Structure 1
Amino acid sequence: MNIVTKPQLELNYTLIEENMPIIYDNIIFEISQKEIIEDIHLLGYQIELPINFIEKLGIDSGRDPLYDLWAKFHKIKEKIPSIIDSGDFGVTLQSQKEGYFEYFVSNKGNTPLTYKKLKNWSLNKGEVIICTVEAENFNTLVLDALYKAQNYLFNIWLPTKSIEIEPFSIEYYPKSQENTVEIWVKKK
């Protein structure tokens, strides 16, 4: 289920410096850059949704098909051979269908994998910008902090820095840090 997120207008007037954490509204934000030296291969489920779904996240209430997709994936991920469960990856991709996007829930493996009806996607090596977000609990993280961080990264930080990115973003949920998500975007 989606919940309504209260806007945080003060954050719109703050420019976070790289590698300098900032605490805002009980949420810790930090932006850094990292070189991915090997391709990262992912295996999981994919869904296609209208773009206006993203525009309404954190604003409209109602059933969340992304939650359902994550639940479906978590039921089977332990059965998948060759998965390296270091954490979950959610990838937002540009769709071939006008007005839609694709969302991919996954875990990584050593090489491109195949398993039943699951799909593959790979992040090729290169430089990524990472916005790390920590919240007091997982629900606050995914229902409030993630929306605020994405909104800040895409609408404030990246445009202010004039950084061009590839047409996808990744949410990485490290297994060892339950209340943390990293938003990855790849520089062009």
Structure 2
Amino acid sequence: MESWECIEKVTGYIEENLNQGIRIETLAEIANLSPFYFQKLFKRLVNKTPMEYVKLRRLARIAEELKENSTDNLLTICLKYGFETHETFSRSFKEAYKITPSEYRANPVVLHHVIQPDIKLQYTVLDEDIPVVTNGIVLEITRFTLESPKYFAGLTIDAKMEAPEVDPLSEVWNKLHEMMPNMKNLIPEGYEIGISTNMGNKNQFTYYAGVETTEPAVIEGMDNCTIDSGKYIVCKFEAEDFNTLVTDTIYKVYNYMHMWITKKEISVIPKAMELYDMTKPERNSMELWIPIEE
């Protein structure tokens, strides 16, 4: 068994037992390693200590319950997942998300959680044009030549992302969707697009959210964007629902595509465009377009 398979078994066990007592010795036994070497390997592959990871996954599960469960009190929920006191739980929640559990329950904004890693994707170079299903993700990589440019009108913001805090992009998408009914030259069956650029050392970046138009449209208060004709690597992927798609799944796909392109030794322009097909009502799929350098 490969070392990554051992840790993948452990993260699967953790996911199924977040509301149970979890001990290092048990996790090491599942990995068939000594506690010392297990913790060393886990930190290397997951980038967190086992118990730090367990705590953050429990907080993510609690956040889901707070959003869906309006009857149980906070103490009942936090005790269910192993937090001994309300104070300890509230402090841990605020450290992770920068808001209190009560504030989140009153206004369940989109949070960036520590997610269950798909370790297999870190070590497997997929073949092109063959769909793969792994941990609830449907993934396919292909090459595509765009014969004619695509045009978009949208909004640009400067944002800061320090996961796992509140998602700063919801506001710009909400504003764009409010403006869409009054937009001219809109292609109803077209794409929506999201582009992150100027990533800095502290995750400060510029983000563009747009919608496809028939031509470069001049719309007051909006910015134009063009996808030029040319060759692209396109990663198509699906998740169980839209929220999972734009949080957990897209994070995994970005990391995977960086590894895949490096292993394939393909020269690309350092730019990734997230395209959403507006004709799909379930909105649980996306395409990541990366231009090939010619």
Q: Structure 1 length as normaliser, TM-score? A: 0.88
Structure 2, unmatched stretches of 5+, are 1-109
Kindly report which structure 2 residues correspond to 1:26-45, keeping only aligned pairs within 5 A, or say none.
26-45=136-155
Question: What's the CA shift for 1:100?
Answer: 4.4
Residue 119 (str. 1) matches residue 223 (str. 2) = yes
Question: What's the CA shift for 1:45?
Answer: 0.3
Greater Rg over alpha carbons, structure: 2
Residue 91 (str. 1) matches residue 223 (str. 2) = no
Tell me the distance in 2 between the aligned counterparts of 1:17 and 1:78: 41
- One-letter amino acid of the structure 2 residue matched with residue 2 of structure 1: L
Question: What's the CA shift for 1:133?
Answer: 0.7
Question: What's the CA shift for 1:99?
Answer: 7.4
Residue 18 (str. 1) matches residue 128 (str. 2) = yes
Question: What's the CA shift for 1:110?
Answer: 1.8
Kindly report which structure 2 residues correspond to 1:1-188, keeping only aligned pairs within 5 A, or say none.
1-4=110-113, 5-50=115-160, 53=161, 56=162, 60-85=163-188, 86-94=190-198, 100-154=204-258, 156-177=259-280, 178-188=283-293
8 Å contact kept, 2:112–2:167: no
- One-letter amino acid of the structure 2 residue matched with residue 19 of structure 1: D
Give the root-mean-square deviation of aligned CA atoms.
Answer: 1.9
Task: Please list the CA deviations of residues 99-146 of structure 1 after superposition, one character each: whole Å capped at 9, or x if unmatched.
Answer: 743211001112111111100111110001111111111111112111
Report % sequence identity: 27
Question: What's the CA shift for 1:184?
Answer: 0.4
| Residues matched between the structures, number | 179
Tell me the distance in 2 between the aligned counterparts of 1:100 and 1:124: 26
Tell me the distance in 2 between the aligned counterparts of 1:164 and 1:92: 19
